[in-house]
Structures are given as C-alpha cells and as structure tokens.
Structure 1
Amino acid sequence: ICASKMLTQSYMLQETYVGSNEPTEYVLTNQKLVTKSKKLKLDSLVSTAKDVFLPQGYPDSVSADYLTYQIWDTAQAFCSSLTSALASRAVLTGYGVGDQGASVAAATLAWLLRDGCGMVGRILFAWLYGTALDWDCKRYRLLADVLNDLAILIQLLCPLAGPPGSPAVVAVLCIASVTLALVTVCGGATRAAFTMHQARQHNMADVSAKDASQETLVNLVGLVVNLTFVPLITGPVAVPVFIIFTSGHIFGNWCAVRSVAMETLNPSRLHLVVVSFVASGGRACSGVAEVNQSEPLLRSCAAPLRLGCPLSAPAAALPADRLVDGLRQQRHRRLAVFTGASSYYAVLAEDATSADQLLAVFQCELIHLARTRPKLFDAVGGCSELRAGDAAAAATAERLMPDFLGALSKAGWSTEPLLLGAGQHRLTWSKSF
C-alpha cells in the first residue's frame, strides 16, 4: 500500500533561470519528469538571442548601465563601419589597385612602411599614456573614436595626395596608420576598463566575449549595407555621407560614455564629490549617478596635483626651508603635501596605503577649494586653517576625513580600487627628521 501511494503521488517543482522572469514548472509523477510550461516560438527565439549576445545571468550579472551603453556602442559601431568602407576604397586606390601603371613592389613597400609606422606608434603611445588609460578611461575612449574618424578622413584624402605609390601617398598612409595605432591602444585599453566596470559576478571574460559577439553582428550587418550602398557612393556624394555618419559616430560615442556610471573614484569624480561634501556642511556627498553625469569628459576638473611625485618636484617649486619643515611636520602621516603657487605635490612614504593616497588627494582638494571657492566652507568651517599652511591644512583634512568616508559609503562610492593616477615614487624619512 505504501509503495502504491508513492507511485501515484506527484510533486510540483519550479525552476527559474537567473535573469528570466518566467519560471519553468515540472511535475514529478510515477518517477517521470513532465514539463508543464510551454514557451512560444517567439519567446524561445528571444531567449536564444539573449544567450548568444548577452552575458550569462543578464541583467543581474552586469552593471545597471550595461544595456544603455551597449545600445549606443552598437549605433556608433554601425556608423563607423560605413565610413571605414569608404576609407578602405580610398586606401586601395592609393596602393594602385585598378591602375595599370602601378607597381606591385611599390605597393608592397608602402604596405610594409605603413605597418611599421603603426607598430612604432602603438609602442610609443602605450609607453607615454598607458597608466592614464585606467583612471581617465572615459576621456581616452572619446579620444580613440575622434582619432578613428581623423584616420578615416586622412585615408579618404589619400588619392588626392598624388599618383598611386608616390612618396606623398605613402606618407599619408603612414600618418593614417599611426593614428589608427593610437586608436587600437586607446580603444582596446579603455574597453577593458569598461568591461571590468560592467562585470558584476566575476564574469569579465564572458562580458568581453559577448561584447565581441555584438560587435561582430554589427559588422556583419554593416557588411551587407556596405556591399549594397558603398558602390553607389562616389564623387561628391561621399562628402555629405562621411559628414553624416561621422557625426553619428561621435554622437553615439558621447552618449555611450556619458551613460556609464562608475562607482570608483578618479581625480575628476573625487573633486566633484569633495565639492558636494563641503557644500553640504560635511554631512553628505553626491551620489554615483549624479557625479558621473556631471563629470567633464574632455578635460579634468580636479585640482592640479602630482600624487606620488619625486621629492625633486616640490623641491623645484618651494624654498628649501619650507620643504624641510613640511617633511618634519608630516613624517608621522606616511605622506607630505606641499602647496605651490599653482600646483600641489603629494610625496608618499614607502609604506603608504591607498587610504593615505585618498587622504592626500582629499587634503589637496580642500586646499584648492579654500583658495578658489572659499564661500563653500561657510557651513563646514576650516577655510582659514586650510589656507594657513600645510601643517594646519593637514590637521583640518584629518578632522574631516572620517565624516567624508562615511558620506562616501552612504552615497554608494567604492574606495577600492582607487584610480587617482598616483606615481610610483616613495620616500623613506631618515632618523634626522
């Protein structure tokens, strides 16, 4: 009898796929599993498309700004694919394709010179600006796209430089190659920074792979459009087409970058947060979305600070006695902040932590605001101390720091990692200090 009851008894089960609002229901009876939920064909197609082009677990596995960013990124990529096709036709003309008098050897030499210039450009740019691509990724992402459009414009002008394979044409191709090399470094590095921001479940590789799939799909659609319309875009018609799609490319990139709301602090975002903290009387600071919407994308609004600079930097700008006094008064802090005529210098100790870096930048921002916008301090106080000298400013910054950290936490900001562009110089104080 008991066995009979077990065979006829049924169990209801429900399964939910992460990121989906439609659960699947199962009935377990007579040792068989029966699916009750039946999806429509359209729902199945949509679900399959999500699996192919979106990270697993979407939307819970990515940041809240993921979809908006990807939509604008897709739009700008489509615009760029059309202008790139126009540029490719101009480059092939510059190599001599279609010209019976063109030399294969000359075209090969031009190709090799172009590639060589691009390789050198990539190495030099990564050496000079590689570190800034982390903490200023939004600005360099925009720079990459502007440079991409500039390179396409240079390539379009290639046939006007002279006969195919001539030195002038080769020079133009080399300039365009160097410009595209900068695009490769900027675009690749900043894309990695954005992917790190978007990945919320240790799924950076998945987010990156699905982003590549989306870009490939856009390129496939662009390929069909290019095969259809590019042969028709010749002569004067190419000029307005280039202007329209280049404008769309830049606008799409601007909207894509503007939609990103990063919780980490870089110099510009930290400056805006400190301004809001001081203006509130030291009680609160602006949230992540508000600050990211206000963050300048073309220039930095932060105080002119050299964080983690060599001691020679403040030594060249300050009298020797002031430098020595500052080192003596601040050695217990694992950092020393010096105020110059138009710049600020933060020397870090060998054992300085990220918290010390944040304190140094916080102090410099307070001093800068006290010098440029003193009325902000009416509610929080400390303006006169911040302008009295480095030691007094240090005491004021340390007094306000606990409240500032609390305000950061309440507003949703993350202090790890810090993207403040700190240099790698570290100082060890001698016993004579």
Structure 2
Amino acid sequence: MVKGLSWMAGGSTRSVFNLSFVRDNNIADITAKNTSQYIFASLFGTTAGVSICAYIGQSAPLALLCFSGLAWTAIYSAYRTVKAIPLPTLNSTRLQLLAARYLKCIRTSSTGLIGFSSGSYMSYQQPPGYVSYQQEYEVPEDEDDTCELELPSPLDLAHQDPPLPWVTADRRILNPAIHVGTQLDKLVQGQPALLVVLLATFRFQRYLLVPEASAIHMVLHAEAAPRDMVQAYLQACILRKCIKAGVQLSHDNVHELRIILHDTLLAAEALTPPFMRALARQGWQTEKIVVEAHRRRARW
C-alpha cells in the first residue's frame, strides 16, 4: 500500500517537473527522455537488487543494513533532484525568498519620522526603534532597474528553495514564520479594538496581516487575486524586518500597531507593480499563485 501511495505521489508530480524543462512546446520530447531514463534506471536497479540479494542470502542484519542504505540513498537523491529542478510557479517559500531579495536590493539608507494619513503627510510620534518604511524603500522608476535584473530566476533560486521548508528552510530569512489561512476569529478573540484596527487599515485590501513576535498571520479575502498575494507577502516581509529590528508589535497598543501596519501597507502597495514586473521578467509565473495548503479565506 505504501509503495502504491509513493507511485501515485510520484506520478502526480512528475508532470510538473517535466513542464519545468519545456521550451517551445516540446513536452513530448521531454516526456520521452524522462521515460527512457526511468526504464534504464529500473533495469539497473533490478540488476543491482538481484546481485545484492544473492550476496546477502538469508542474513537478516545484512538485509536490514542494505535496505536502510538504499532507502537513504533514494530519499537523498530525490531531495537533491527536487533542489536542482527549476519551478517557475510561486508558492509561499519562493515568494518569501524573492520578496526578501527584492527588498534587500532596493533598500536605501534613509529613514524618517514621517507618516501618512488620510492622503496627506503628517508628523506623529513613532514607536521606539521604528523607522519609516515608506522612506527606507524607494520605488524603482526605471523598468530596467538593477533590482529587476538581480532578482533570481527559477533556475537561480532552485538550489535555495527548500523542499521541506519546515525542516530545511533558512531560519535567518524565513523567521518569524508567515502563516497563511489562520482563522480570523481566533486571532482577534477577545480583542475588539484589534479587529477594528485591522478592518480600518485593510478595508480596501484583499488581505489582512496580524503580526506577532513569533509569527505573522495572513488572512486572505475570498476574492484575493495574485497581485493581492504578492502585496501581502511584500508587506509581511517588511513587517518581518521590523520585528527583527526590535519593534514591539503588541496587540495591547493598537495605536502604534496601526501606524506600523499603515506605513508598511503603503510601502508594499507602491512596491508591488515593479516587483511583479521583475518577477515576470525573470520568468516567474504570476498568473496563479498557490500559498495555502488548505484554502481558508474570509470576507469583510
């Protein structure tokens, strides 16, 4: 039964791997070569298995040792294969890595104490240690901006993309974690002021972000489009840098939380169009983005 499940999982993912090698509608050639390699590997494996069985005989310890070694080799080979295959589709991990790289590229050294409210700039008292991300990140004006060229392509990012993000991900980049699909009622349970701040800040958006010290929770609207997801991840990555800088995003102080959410929202909103152009230019598919293992959306 386990072998049957593994065959089913392999068959369902093989088509995606084949498509990653396609150039100019040559999927038939890719499939033929993949089948040829599979047949050769199967024959080689069968021959090796028969030889090993003849050597082991009836020895249970040797059989267990060989099985463990071959199983580890197969799993490690599959792991290395997945890391070597460029996949142009955007998921949660790839979007975080790309957003972090893009933000690092366009980041400027200027900081400020200027906020934005009701369509005009106004001064206010910033939370301790907080910098204005509207001024820290500048929007590239030229379409041929250097940051677009430095954004990694699917081939460049393949070796950095962890097949098992919760085990092999780089915690220096993907920490605090971004959780998508958390139920909104659980996030704001017993905190009506927090709910008011979220709905007021994100009333024209198709997502909500609820930052905490250990995680950033993302709630997508039922009608959220790929552009909304890209903007949500840009803002989440900016909030992540804010948390790493030592800013306390306490739900008890909703006034400061709203300032930070509003400021990072405006920065992400301005960066989304050039970031999506950069993604498309580097070969990433932005028409459909899958960031949820289980679709949990909300309406507001």
Tell me which interval the TM-score lies in, with the shorter structure as reference length: 0.5 to 0.7
1:12-55 Cα offsets, whole Å, 9 max, x none, are xxxxxxxxxxxxxxxxxxxxxxxxxxxxxxxxxxxxxxxxxxxx
Q: Which has the higher contact order (CA 8 A, sep 6+)?
A: 2
Task: Report the counterpart of residue 221 of structure 1 in structure 2.
Answer: 44
Task: Report the counterpart of residue 391 of structure 1 in structure 2.
Answer: 262
Q: Is residue 304 of structure 1 aligned with residue 177 of structure 2?
A: yes
8 Å contact from structure 1 (residues 335, 360) kept in 2 = yes
CA–CA distance in 1 between the matches of 2:257 and 2:158? Answer: 28
Q: 1:409 to 1:199 in 2, by over 3 A?
A: closer
CA–CA distance in 2 between the matches of 1:250 and 1:351? Answer: 39
The alignment-based identity, stated in percent, is 26
Q: 1:309 to 1:206 in 2, by over 3 A?
A: farther
8 Å contact from structure 1 (residues 306, 344) kept in 2 = yes
Q: Which amino acid aligns with 1:350?
A: A
Structure 1 stretches lacking a partner, 5+ long:
1-117, 119-176, 375-384
Shift of 1:260: 1.0
Task: Report the counterpart of residue 108 of structure 1 in structure 2.
Answer: none
CA–CA distance in 2 between the matches of 1:324 and 1:369? Answer: 25
Q: 1:185 to 1:343 in 2, by over 3 A?
A: farther
Q: Is residue 340 of structure 1 aligned with residue 212 of structure 2?
A: yes
Q: Is residue 254 of structure 1 aligned with residue 100 of structure 2?
A: no
Q: Which amino acid aligns with 2:41?
A: V
8 Å contact from structure 1 (residues 367, 386) kept in 2 = no
Task: Report the counterpart of residue 349 of structure 1 in structure 2.
Answer: 221
Of 67, 72, 92, 1:267 maps to 92
CA–CA distance in 1 between the matches of 2:278 and 2:194? Answer: 34
Q: What is the DSSP-based 3-state SS (H/G/I as helix, E as strand, rest coil) of the residue aligned with 1:232?
A: helix
Shift of 1:327: 0.9
8 Å contact from structure 1 (residues 287, 412) kept in 2 = no
Task: Report the counterpart of residue 188 of structure 2 in structure 1.
Answer: 315
Q: Is residue 292 of structure 1 aligned with residue 115 of structure 2?
A: no
Bigger Rg, which one: 1
Task: Report the counterpart of residue 416 of structure 1 in structure 2.
Answer: 287
1:273-330 Cα offsets, whole Å, 9 max, x none, are 22221222255143123322222333344453333444324223x7221112211231
CA–CA distance in 2 between the matches of 1:386 and 1:400? Answer: 21
What do you get for the CA RMSD once the two structures are aligned?
3.2
Q: Which amino acid aligns with 1:324?
A: V
Q: 1:308 to 1:333 in 2, by over 3 A?
A: same
Shift of 1:247: 4.2
Shift of 1:394: 1.0
Q: 1:315 to 1:292 in 2, by over 3 A?
A: same
Shift of 1:228: 4.5
Task: Report the counterpart of residue 134 of structure 2 in structure 1.
Answer: none
Q: Which amino acid aligns with 2:180?
A: L
Q: What is the DSSP-based 3-state SS (H/G/I as helix, E as strand, rest coil) of the residue aligned with 2:286?
A: coil
Alignment of 1:226-241 (within 5 A): 226-234=49-57, 235=59, 236-241=61-66
1:218-272 Cα offsets, whole Å, 9 max, x none, are 2233334444452232225435544543443234223312211222222222222
Structure number having the greater helix percentage? 1
1:45-94 Cα offsets, whole Å, 9 max, x none, are xxxxxxxxxxxxxxxxxxxxxxxxxxxxxxxxxxxxxxxxxxxxxxxxxx
8 Å contact from structure 2 (residues 83, 160) kept in 1 = no
Q: 1:188 to 1:393 in 2, by over 3 A?
A: same
Shift of 1:205: 6.6
1:149-185 Cα offsets, whole Å, 9 max, x none, are xxxxxxxxxxxxxxxxxxxxxxxxxxxx4xx455345
Task: Report the counterpart of residue 365 of structure 1 in structure 2.
Answer: 237
Q: Which amino acid aligns with 1:188?
A: G
8 Å contact from structure 2 (residues 181, 219) kept in 1 = yes
Q: Which amino acid aligns with 1:331?
A: R
Structure number having the greater strand percentage? 2
Q: What is the DSSP-based 3-state SS (H/G/I as helix, E as strand, rest coil) of the residue aligned with 2:295?
A: coil
Structure 2 stretches lacking a partner, 5+ long:
108-145, 247-255
Q: Which amino acid aligns with 1:357?
A: M
Q: What is the DSSP-based 3-state SS (H/G/I as helix, E as strand, rest coil) of the residue aligned with 1:346?
A: strand
Q: 1:305 to 1:243 in 2, by over 3 A?
A: closer
Of 9, 13, 18, 1:190 maps to 13
Q: 1:198 to 1:421 in 2, by over 3 A?
A: farther
Q: What is the DSSP-based 3-state SS (H/G/I as helix, E as strand, rest coil) of the residue aligned with 1:404?
A: helix
Q: Which amino acid aligns with 1:286?
A: L
Q: What is the DSSP-based 3-state SS (H/G/I as helix, E as strand, rest coil) of the residue aligned with 1:258?
A: helix
CA–CA distance in 1 between the matches of 2:177 and 2:243? Answer: 13
